[in-house]
Structures are given as structure tokens and as C-alpha cells.
Structure 1
Amino acid sequence: MDDQNKNLFLATALSFVVILAWFILFPPPEQPEIDPNAPVAIEGAAPAADNDLAVAPAAAPGSAPAQAAETASETTEAPRVTLDTDRLEGSISLVGGRIDDLRLKDYRETLDDDSAIVQMLDPAGSDNPYYALYGWAPGAGLTLDDVPGANTLWAIETGQTLTTTSPVILRWDSPAGLTFRRTVAIDANYMFSITQTVENTGGATVSLAPYGILARKGEPDDLKNFFVLHEGVVAMADGTLSEIDYGDMPDFNVIASEGARAEVTQVAESGWIGFTDHYWMTTLIPAAGTPYKQVAKYDERRDIYQTETVLQTVQVAPGETKNASTQLFAGAKEWETIRGYEKGGVDGFLDSIDWGWFFFLTKPIFAVLHWLNAAIGNMGWSIIGLTLLIKALLFPLAYKSYVSMAKMKELQPEMAKIKERTGDDREKLQKEMMALYKKEKVNPAAGCLPILMQIPIFFSLYKVIFVTLELRHAPFLGPFQDLSAPDTTSIFNLFGALPWAAPEAGSIMALIFIGILPLLLGISMFLQQKLNPAPTDPTQAMIFAWMPWVFMFMLGGFASGLVVYWIANNTITFTQQYLIMRSQGFKPDILGNITSGLKKAGKPEDK
């Protein structure tokens, strides 16, 4: 076959191999069962029965031996402060002052109207404990008795319900003559503001360090474990982004305590740290310009994953009051919301969304997609609009490519003569071919460029559709009500005409009995392929003939939004190539190419 078709074949085969390797080498594993919750104790304190509590930061240097703090039995029925905003509902436990009950009003677990709304945080003692905890690490002259801990019973000083207009102030009086207050406020979205205050009414100067903790028991139940998505710790420290998978945390080098390992980072100016799931995130955010210690920790004995921010130790003289203000993000990873927080001063917060290695493509691609969706109001049509914009951007390259392909077609008779004249002398064949290309000003590799350009764009769009929240449960047309999920239609039930459900997504049956979108994908690839003559080699002709249908079954399990993009891309490419080739005086014989391809795939080449 000529160089043009050879390069096209290699580029197509390369993209096929890369995509197929994703599913062969990195299949999503079955989710393991999480062990029942085990009792957990505060560091240096007596065990707290029936609790799943975080391990508090170590006491400041020079402190007295740690003693058990004042405790109160914690259950899901502990005294609470109600939390209610337009976007969130839940409560704050007065035991420890923990933010441990949070639900997202705008998001449901499934597409069903009666599906439960998404639960973000859960209290200790529940099936999946996950919460935020604040406190003070004792310094010189103080013990754990003297500072509030995870089991301290707080009193409400101001407010009964936390809303966007009504903050809540909690109070606890220490036996050491210290009065602790914690003011909790929340904005219209997902950002909590936490102000911790200590007033020294005693007779001696004390030292202590404010901290914040995020802790969760075990890995999330819905952990995807898919290589294209990061789940685990995400942190920013003075402009450097860190992503740590849950599976890597037991291998930390620093031994924080018996059974616990940690990774510690000193932050000089600004940063944040927390846990990110597929669509949700919790993040501790100290005030910009505040030096602090950033910690990611895993306690193997208790199976607790933990992140901490420990601010600098402060000295509080008699009659003096000190405070520390931080923020807590707990909610959905909405691009516009997170971008707003970044503009408001949270450095690099938009990088908490996993943009991947091709971030220089995924970020602008999503920004355009978001803008189109805001204008059109339908994510499926927005993906098609994005495809049009990408094809328009690549049109100059495509035009040169298709013009070159048309000229190559015109040179087919002359190329056939050269092959006949040179026989088996490949070196002479190459020289005469290169001379012909140079004379006619044709680049045989030009046809590969649009395909090669599409590979990183395809991967980037796949990343955008798989990772970003805005595609979750995003409807398109008819049965396509979730563009982040595979096509739910199937030949098995005649695309919904028969009264039984389609095979479960991801099963072998679902791959065999494919839906409407994969079928359209295969047809569009087939027609686009037939704009070009079939290879002269029968083996290559057979591979090309099967390629669209292999892709049809392989991509059938991808997110339907990605398949919509690929169908639109194939359709636009077919139209562009057909019109450009016609403008060059060449009328593509699609039906003839189909017939020719079938004949060459079915019989050996004449010698």
C-alpha cells in the first residue's frame, strides 16, 4: 500500500491499541468490603468506647504529660446544632463540636426522583464515619484536660440553627481558667468559616496551637480505583500541588505514632489539604499568609485516613485573647464555584479538580464546554458545539490534509506505473516515489496529522467527561439522561421497545447487545473510512474493514457523552473531507470503495 494509507493505518492502529490497553491493563477492580468500625482513642487519652475518632495532633513541645480530656459519650443521637441552607442540610455535634453530618440538597445518588440526596459527612459510630474536627494542641503548662478535644461537650452560646445569615458560637470553659469559643459560619455554597478563640482568665501565660482535622474511616464505599481519576489526598503547598492515593498512604516514611504513618509539609505562605472523591471534596484552608504544618496521615490499627493543618503555637498571657480563623470546603466539585473561591483568595483551588497530564488541554476544553452549556442549556448539544469549534480550529490543517489526499488520489495511476516499473526493488521504488511527491508538491504524511491531533484531544475530552461533576446526570435526548454513564439502550430490548431492562452497564452482555450511540459510532467511522480507497494488501484491507466495528463494541462501554463527541467528530470530518475533495475535482466513490474493500478482504492479491 502507498505511504498515505500506511501512515493512516499506523495512526489509527496506534489509537486503537492505546484505548484498548486502558481496559486490559487497568480494569476497575471489584470494590472490597470495608471492615466493621473499630474503637478509636484520642492520642494520650483513655479509649473512647464505640467511637471512630481522629488522632489529635501531638502536644506542643514542653507540655505536661497528656491526660484524658473531659468526655461525653458520642452516638448519632448526640446533642446537635441544626445546619440548613439552600444547598446544604445537616447538623454539628456538640460532642467535639464536629462538623459530621452534611448532605447536598442539589444532588441525588441516582436519577430516580425518590433517590436519597448525597451524604457528604457522617458521624462517628455510623457505617462510614467522615467528619471535620477542630481544637487546640496543648503547649507548656497544659494537658489534654485543659484544651477541648474530640469528646469535649460544648455548649451553645449563640444561635440554634446554622444558616448563611446566622452563625453559631460554641463555648467550653477549661478547668485551667481558659475560655474557648468556636464560631462557625457558612456561605451560600459549600464554604465554612471557622474562628477558634481562646481567652486566658487564669494567672499564668499558656501556649497552645490551633489545628483542624479531616478524618474518614476506611476508603470510600464508592471508590472507583480507575487510573484516569485521582481519589485520596489533594493538597496545595506554596504553589505545589500534591495528589496521594489512598493506597499510597500506608507507605509514608514518617512514623507519627504507633500504627500511624504521615507525610508532613511545612507551608510558608498559602495552601490547603483535604480529601477528594470522584465528585465531592472536603478541604482544610488556613488563611492566606499563615505559616502552618500540613499533614497527611494513615492509622493502620484504626484504618483511619486523616489530614491536618496545625498552625503555629501562640502565647496567651493572663487577660489576653487570641484567635485563629480558617475555612473548610465541604461539597461538590463545581467548576464555577471552585473558580469563584480561587478568585476570592484560595490559591490554586481550581487544581483540586483532577485535570490530568493534559491540563493545558482539559482546562480550556472544559471552560469552553461550560460556556456552551450555559448558553445552550443542554450538555449533549454543547458537546456537539464543542466538536464544531475544535474542527473549525483544526480546519486549516485538515484542509491541507484533504487537499493532499485528493492529489494523492490523482497520482494513483502514476504511482501504479512506478510500482510496476520498479518491481521488487524497494529502494528504487522509494526514490521514484519521493521524486514524484516532490515534483507534484504532495506530502504523503499530511493525511495522518488530523488523526494524530485528535488523539490528545480525545484523551482530554474523555478526562473532562469522566472527571467533571457537570457531566454527572446531565441529560441529552430521549433515553440519554446521563452523559457521564454508558449508553443505556440496547439491542437486547429493541432499544426500549420491549418490556425488560437492558443488560447492566459494564457486563459482557452489555458489550454484545450494544445501544444506539455505539451503532451510530460504528456507522460514522465506516462511512468516513470509505472516503478513501481500500488498501491493496488483503490483510490490511480486512483490518480496515473490521476497525469501525471493533471500535463500536469497544467504545460502547465509554461515557455516552464521549461517544456523542466521537459521532459528531466523524460526521463533521466526513462532511469536510467530502466537500474538500469535491472542490479539488475528485468525486469520492464511497459505494465503489465499499465494494472494492469487500472484494480485496475476501480474496488474495493478484501477483
Structure 2
Amino acid sequence: MDDNNRNLILATVLSFLVVVLWYTLFAPPPPATAPAPEAVATAPGTAAPAPDGTTTTTAATPGLDAPSSDPSANAERVTIATPSLSGSISLAGGRIDDLLLTSYRETLDENSPHVRLLSPTFGPREPAVAAPVTPDAQPDVPPQKPYYAVYGWLPGPGVDPALVPGPATLWSLESGAELAPGAPVTLAWDNGAGQIFRRIFAVDDRYLFTITQSVENLGDAAFSAAPYGIIARHGRPDTQNFFVLHEGAVGMADGSLEELKYKAIADLDPQGMEGPAEIVQVAANGWIGFTDKYWMTTLAPAPGQGFTSVVKYAPGADIYQTEARMPLLTVEPGARTDQASYLFAGAKVVDVLRGYQETPGIQGFVDAVDWGWFFFLTKPIFSLLHWLNGMIGNVGWSIIALTVVLKLLVFPLARKSYISMARMKELQPEMEAIKERTGDDRMKFQQEVMALYKTQKVNPAAGCLPVLLQIPIFFALYKVIFVTIELRHAPWIGWIRDLSAPDPSSLLNLFGLLPWATPAPGTMLHMVALPALAIVLGISMWLQQKLNPTPTDPTQKMIFAYMPWIFMFMLGGFASGLVLYWIANNTITIIQQYWIMSSHGHRPDLFGNITSSFRRQKAADKPKK
């Protein structure tokens, strides 16, 4: 292999090494539960559409100065109980602000708390109740930052703001007792001036709420108002801060995916009285909300409904929020108008998102999963892995089966590369002899090496193909394992109980034989402590390397010799599912290369040494002394 091609391979591998090193050294540890923020002032502000369809700013809605003055702290609550969710709705503002995901727990411990998605401003309660609650009666649970969905109406021109309900309005329960699939709940509020507002909550058995806001005009004159929905997060949430993962605002606007991280939201340009804000007019189809790694809360107007999508930040109150502002509605005397929309609050399960994309038709909803730049690979790889898991029933074995399928798909392209590498391996003694004969004359060395390649009909560039094919597949699978909730807490065998997390074993305690704890998975010390999968990976890389041509340059030879062991240490902090894929990939590659080399008369031993018909022929052609 000439120096140019070898340098190409070296540059590719070293670039990959740099990326892996960045992932390993700079990936932040899992976020810890943050203390409750101090009293947060001001409920989220809103903006009303003007009669001509533009947006004008109105005064902020009534503030919630502190947890003690928050009306939702003492308001009655309506219980939410579905197969996937539990929580409650506060009659103060009609807020969905207490929500647990009952299908998911914080840790692998079966007794660990369920994942909490939404939290009220006065601190979460668990379980939710349908009776008045005082702060003194709340159980001692870990505090979380307030995070909730709230709906309301904005007054039209000439309408007193006191005549429309806002985030602090106290609603009454008109019908229903508990929100469950097939059992909607209706809240009502009479403004005392002839208008009765109602809010109907319905929920399915997964994560989709249908919220219908209505106003009945019993007055003598037309009444105009504009409905809205808000998702508010008080304080910057605890994120993983990993540059390959998007956490923040996410939305779709007429087929265009919009993403903003929390820092970018705070740095937005001010929009009039809005403060830092991004305002987008959606013509027909869209949604807007906040996404975490695995969870999401999203406002989705009915398909075909135009609205104003807003992402903004209130610096003084430290509130991040997304809004869906609907057009102004005018209700004639004796008439009633209804405005339906959807709220997704739950886990980003791909099949669930795809189902909502089909029915009720939330456009591009499956793209809420952060598929990344290699979406054209991550999506089909996930689909194939998901299908295999449905057939096999174990994600670990499905990853191995996926590796087999991928290797079979690229084998026709890789076959010539493996043959070329086998021939290159065979020519190593000849190349060493040329190097000894030419000494420091690199020009002559290159000329004689190229002549040898031409005589033996070897293409040195073909050996680059397996490396180039593996890198995008590796990154795509890394993305799938890292961002999809389907692999969260997915077990394989034995001690591997979560393929999305690093291998918890460690050489420091002889993989559990010695009676002391191991470093926490994902930490630098755990990486150095060598988990079992990392050791197997290093050995498999070393064995595969023995079948490849050895560089003639001493520096390159040293780098390649150390690379399996460097990767062994560095990948100890990677998700065990990804390490499992790499081990399977190396093993299959070794089998393929061994078979191809043997079929061409170059049968290698365990250390890659070969005795071929070509060598025997060369030996026979040498003149006898």
C-alpha cells in the first residue's frame, strides 16, 4: 500500500479516534436532581391576535408571585388515570401540571419512582388526588422545577381582559370525576357578563390529550377572543448538554422542522414587548413544544388549522415557554364556538409518534426523535432493529442480528477489499525487502512498490472501503442507541441490564468475584477499570488487525499496534449496545476475511501469519545456490 493511501486510512481512523475521545472525555455525567428553584415570579405572558390576523402584545397574565400565593397549591384537582399516565389537573387555571409516566421508572430498580414529566409551581405531589390539598399535607418528595401546560383565551378588541379566563382563573368541575380513556372531564367558568367558557379534556390510553376550548355567548352583543395554549418550564431544565443530542424547543411548521436549544432560546432577538422570542406563522400544519432525551411535551393544533408558533424566554422570571396562538374568534349572541387541539405529554416511542402522525394527522411527528445528520441511515437502521427485536424479543441479540444483516448487505462491496487486503498481507515480505533495498530513497521505494502492485494486480486503495463503510454505520447506530427510548433499560444477558448504558462490570473487582463496588458506569475511572465488553472489544480488534497488512513505516506500525488497546480503554464508557455491535462487527469481519484469504490459498494462523501458494511459488522460483 502506497503512503498516500495508507495516510488516508490513518487520517480516517485517527479522525474517528478524536471523535470517540471527545465523546468519552467530554460527555457529561447523568444529570442529578436539582434543588427546587426559589420563588418564581410571573406566570407566562400571552399575546393576542389582532382582528386583521397579525399579532399584538397584551399585558402579561396575572402573576404567581411565590409557591405560597400560587392558587393551584390549594385548588381542587381532577385525577388523571390511564394505562400510561397518572397525575392531576388543577382547577386553578385548568393546568395539566402533575403527570407521571407509569410505564417508566427513574432507574433499573423496580421500586424506583416513576418518571415525572410535569410538575406544579408549588412542588410535585405523588400520587395525585382529587381533593383540596394544602402545602402542609404534601408528602416529602424530591422537588422539581415547575413544568406544565396551561390554556386560556385572550380578549379581542374592546373586550375587558377580566372577562376571559387566564392561567390563574379558578374553574369549576362541570362534568366527569376522573380523566381516563373514554371518560372526558369538562371544566366551566362563567365571567358574569353573559359568556360561559368550557374546557373539555379527553385522553387516550397512551400520551395524547384532546383539549376542546369553547365559549357560549348568552349576552346581547358579539364577543371576540382568541384561544391559546402554553407549555412553560420555570428555570433551565437539567439536560445532558451533549452536542449530538437536541434538548430544547422542537416543532414543525408546514413541513419544516425547527429546533432551538435552551441557550439559543435565551439568546433570541427581542420581539417587541415579547422579550427574546421566535415567532412563526404556521399556515396549516404544525406543532411546538419542548423535548428531552426521551420525553416530550407538545402543543398540536388540529391538522389544517393555522396558528402562530412562539418560542420565547422571560429573563426576569426565568421561564422558557412555547405557545400556540389561535386566530381570533367572534361569537354572535346565542351562539357557541369550539376550538380543539392536542397535547402530547409522554415518551417518544417511535411507533406511538408514528401512530399520531397517521391519526389524527400530526404532520412529521416522528421527527421529534433526534435522528441527526445521518437520518437517512438512522431511520432505516432503527426500523430494522425494531423489527428484529419484535421477532427475537431481546434487543442485545437483535443488535447482533442487525450486524449480520448489515455485513451481508455491504459484503459484495467489501469482498474485493478483503481480497485486496489479503493480497496486501501476502506481499508484506516483498515490501519489507524493497524497503531494505531502497533505504531512505522514498521515490525509488514508491516506484518499486507500485511496480509490485501492478505485477501482482493489487489495488491498494480498495483496502480503505471497509473503514469508510463502517464509520457512517457506526455513527448512525450510535445515534439510534443513544436517543431512542426503545433501548432505554433494555437488557441483554447476565449483568447487561441496560444496553443504552455502559457495561457496569469492572476488572477492578474481577467482574463481581471480589466483594467491593466498582466505579460508577460512565465515569472516567470506570472506563479505565475495563468493563468486560471493552476487553472483548480490544481482543477482537487486535485479532482483526492481525489479518490486515502491516504498515512498513515504523511510526504508523506502532500507532496501529496500540490502537486496539486504546479503543478498549476509551469505549468502556460507551453504551454497552454500541460496544456489542462493534464486537459483533469485528467477529464477522474476522470470519469473512479468514474465509476469503483461505479460499485464495492464503490460510492465516491465529496471529495472521500466512503460508500461501504464492509464497511457495516465489520460494521455488528463487535460484538455488
TM-score if structure 2 supplies the norm length?
0.88
Q: Is the 8 A contact 1:534 1:593 kept in 2?
A: no
Deviation at 1:399, TM superposition (A): 1.0
Offset at residue 261 of structure 1 (A): 1.7
Q: Deviations over 1:513-552 (max 9, x none)?
A: 1111111111111111111353333333322221111100
TM superposition shift of 1:34: 6.1
Verify: 1:20 aligned to 2:4, yes or no. no
Q: Which amino acid aligns with 2:358?
A: K
CA displacement, residues 73-101 of structure 1 (integer Å, 9 cap, x when unaligned): 52444201111111111111111111111
Contact in 1 for aligned 2:156/2:224 (Cα 8 Å): yes
Residue 316 in 1 paired to residue 317 in 2?
Answer: no
Q: Deviations over 1:108-165 (max 9, x none)?
A: 0011111011111111222421111111110122122100111111111110011101
The one-letter code matched in structure 2 to 1:495 is: F
How far apart are 1:569 and its partner, in Å?
A: 0.7
Percent identity (aligned): 57
Within-5 A mapping of 1:179-190: 179-190=196-207
- The CA deviation string for residues 391-446 of structure 1, in whole angstroms up to 9 with x for no partner, is 11111122111111222234445545655665544334434433443443321011
Matched, 1:111 2:101: no
Is 1:206 the equivalent of 2:223? yes
Residue 555 of structure 1 is aligned with which of 560, 571, 575?
571
Instruction: Summarize the alignment of residues 541-552 of structure 1 with structure 2, pairs less than 5 Å apart.
Output: 541-552=557-568
1:506 matched residue in structure 2: 522
Q: Is the 8 A contact 2:119 2:147 kept in 1?
A: yes
Which of 122, 126, 129 is matched with 1:125 structurally?
122
- C-alpha change, 1:270 and 1:372, in structure 2 (3 Å) is same
The offset of 1:18, in angstroms, is: 2.6
Which runs of no fewer than 5 residues in structure 2 stay unpaired?
124-143, 611-625
Aligned partner (choices 555, 558, 561) of residue 539 of structure 1? 555
Give me the whole-angstrom Cα distance separating, in 2, the residues matched to 1:420 and 1:521: 35
> Residue type of the partner of 1:394?
V
Find the residue that maps to 1:195 and give its secondary structure.
Answer: strand
Report the counterpart of residue 337 of structure 1 in structure 2.
352
Structure 1 residues 67 and 232: CA distance shift in structure 2, 3 A: closer
Cα distance in 2 between the residues matched to 1:68 and 1:543: 64
CA contact (8 A) 2:201 2:209 kept: yes
Secondary structure of the residue that 2:116 maps to in structure 1? Answer: strand
Partner of 2:44: 54
Rounded to whole Å, the distance in 2 between the matches of 1:279 and 1:416 is 54
What's the counterpart of residue 171 of structure 1?
188
Counterpart of 2:302, as a letter, is A
In the other structure, the counterpart of 2:129 is: none
> Structure 2: which amino acid aligns with 1:152?
T
Structure 2 residue 290 is the aligned partner of structure 1 residue 279:
no
Q: Is 1:194 the equivalent of 2:195?
A: no
1:153 counterpart = 2:170: yes
Task: Indicate the SS of the match to 2:373.
Answer: coil
Contact persistence 2:293–2:483 (CA under 8 A): yes
Q: Give, in whole Å, the separation in 2 of the partners of 1:519 and 1:462.
A: 19
Shift of 1:29: 9.7
Which residue number in structure 2 is paired with residue 349 of structure 1? 365
* One-letter identity of the residue aligned with 2:570: M
The 2-side partners of 1:458 and 1:379 are apart by: 17
* Equivalent in 237, 241, 249 of residue 220 of structure 1: 237
1:345-398 Cα distance to aligned partner (Å, 9 max, x none) = 110001100000111111111111111111111111111111111111111122
Question: 2:107 is paired with a residue of what secondary structure?
Answer: coil
Is 1:214–1:274's contact at 8 Å kept on the other side of the alignment? yes
Aligned residues of 1:200 and 1:320 also touching (Cα < 8 A): yes
1:75-94 matches, cutoff 5 A: 75-94=72-91
| Counterpart for residue 140 of structure 1 | 157
Aligned to 1:602: none
8 Å CA contact retained: 1:380, 1:476: yes
Counterpart CA distance in 1 for 2:58 and 2:231 is: 25
CA contact (8 A) 2:180 2:203 kept: yes
Q: 1:131-530 maps to which residues of 2 (within 5 A)? A: 131-221=148-238, 223-255=239-271, 257=273, 260-344=275-359, 345-412=361-428, 414-416=430-432, 418-419=434-435, 422=438, 424-530=440-546
Which moves more between the two structures, 118-127 or 482-491? Answer: 118-127
User: Distance between the aligned counterparts of 1:97 and 1:354, measured in 2?
Assistant: 31
SS in 2 for 1:556: helix
> Greater shift after overlay, 328-337 or 316-325?
316-325
Rounded Cα–Cα distance in structure 1 between residues aligned with 2:58 and 2:490: 56
Q: TM-score, normalised by structure 1?
A: 0.90
Q: 2:301, 2:323 → 1: CA distance?
A: 11
C-alpha deviations, 1:206-265, integer Å up to 9, x for none? 2111100000111223x101111100000100010011001111111133537x321100
Give, in whole Å, the separation in 2 of the partners of 1:424 and 1:70.
80
Would the alpha carbon gap of residues 370 and 581 (structure 1) be closer, same or farther in structure 2, given more than 3 Å must change? same
Counterpart-to-counterpart distance in 1, 2:39 and 2:44 = 12
Amino acid at match of 1:356: G
What is the CA-CA distance between 1:17 and the residue it aligns to?
2.2
- How far apart are residue 327 of structure 1 and its match? 0.3
CA contact (8 A) 1:190 1:329 kept: yes
Kept in 1: contact 2:528–2:572 (CA 8 A): no
SS of aligned partner of 1:587: strand
CA-CA distance at 1:494 after TM superposition: 1.5
- CA separation of 1:65 and 1:335: change in aligned 2, threshold 3 A: closer
- The answer (yes or no) to whether the contact 1:199–1:321 under 8 Å persists in 2 is yes
> For residues 580 and 378 of structure 2, what CA distance do their matches in structure 1 show?
18
Query: Structure 1 CA distance, aligned partners of 2:496 and 2:513?
Result: 15
Secondary structure of 2:186's partner?
strand
Superposed displacement of residue 201, structure 1: 0.7
Quote the Cα distance in structure 2 between the aligned partners of 1:11 and 1:372.
31
Query: Retained in 1: the 8 A contact 2:61–2:166?
Result: no
Q: Is the 8 A contact 2:49 2:327 kept in 1?
A: no
CA–CA distance in 1 between the matches of 2:12 and 2:152?
58
Q: Work out the CA distance in 2 between the residues paired with 1:478 and 1:216.
A: 40
Aligned CA distance change for structure 1 residues 39 and 144 (closer, same or farther; 3 Å):
farther
Instruction: State the AA in 2 paired with 1:267.
Output: V
Matched residue, 1:597: none
Among 67, 71, 74, the alignment partner of 1:74 is 71
CA distance in structure 1 between the partners assigned to 2:19 and 2:322 by the alignment: 36
CA distance in 2, matches of 1:452, 1:514: 28
Q: Distance in 1 between matches of 2:534 and 2:162?
A: 64
Identify which range, 248-257 or 206-215, moves more after superposition.
Answer: 248-257
Answer with 76-85 or 296-305: which moved more: 76-85
* Whole-Å separation in 2 of the counterparts to 1:303 and 1:228: 26
Closer, same or farther in 2 for the Cα pair 1:489/1:399, shift >3 Å? same
Query: Aligned pair in 2 of structure 1 residues 227, 28: CA closer, same or farther (>3 Å)?
Result: farther
SS in 2 for 1:283: strand
Between stretches 331-340 and 501-510, larger displacement belongs to 501-510
Summarize the Cα distance change of 1:465–1:92 in structure 2 as closer, same or farther, 3 Å threshold: same
The CA deviation at 1:58 is: 4.4
Residue 8 (structure 1) shift: 4.1
Structure 2: distance between partners of 1:409 and 1:110: 49
Amino acid at match of 2:474: F
The CA deviation at 1:19 is 1.7
CA root-mean-square deviation: 2.5
Question: How many Å separate the matches in 2 of 1:65 and 1:546?
Answer: 65
**Distance (whole Å) between structure 2 residues aligned to residue 65 and residue 572 of structure 1:** 65
Decide whether aligned partners of structure 1 residues 70 and 24 sit closer, same or farther in structure 2, where only a CA change above 3 A counts: closer
Change in 2 beyond 3 A, CA 1:29/1:282: closer
Q: Secondary structure at the match of 1:111?
A: coil
